[in-house]
Amino acid sequence: MTIILAGTIRIAPERLETLRPHLAAQVAGSRAEPGCLDYALSEDRLDPGLIRVFEHFTDEAALAFHRASPHMAAWRAACAELGVYERRMSSFDVSAYREI
């Protein structure tokens, strides 16, 4: 079974430029973790300030490792400092998936 997390966060559009280096650091750090199958933080081009979140991990242990990582602590601090708000996330336990 794998775990997928999907959702959104928001930031004031005028703060996006300041957030972008933190987005890149969070994605790079997460993708380098053991058990991370995919990780993306993407700006929605039609809704400025909306960031779409997609995370895919092999299992709960990989997700726990991710949550305890130093770059995750830095990401949380940056989000608080820059006023990221309206975090909406869902977790999906996936027993099977296939390419289509």
Q: Is residue 49 part of a domain?
A: yes
Q: Is residue 17 part of a domain?
A: yes
The SS3 of residue 73 is: helix
Mean pLDDT over 87-98 rounds to: 93
Provide the number of structural domains found in the chain.
1
Q: Is residue 58 part of a domain?
A: yes
Per residue in 37-53, pLDDT (tens digit) is 999 999 999 999 999 99
Sheet arrangement for strand 50-57: 36-43, 50-57, 2-10, 85-94
Closest CA to 48 of 86, 10, 98, 83: 10
CATH of the domain at 77: 3.30.70.100
**Whether pTM exceeds 0.85:** yes
Q: Is residue 25 part of a domain?
A: yes
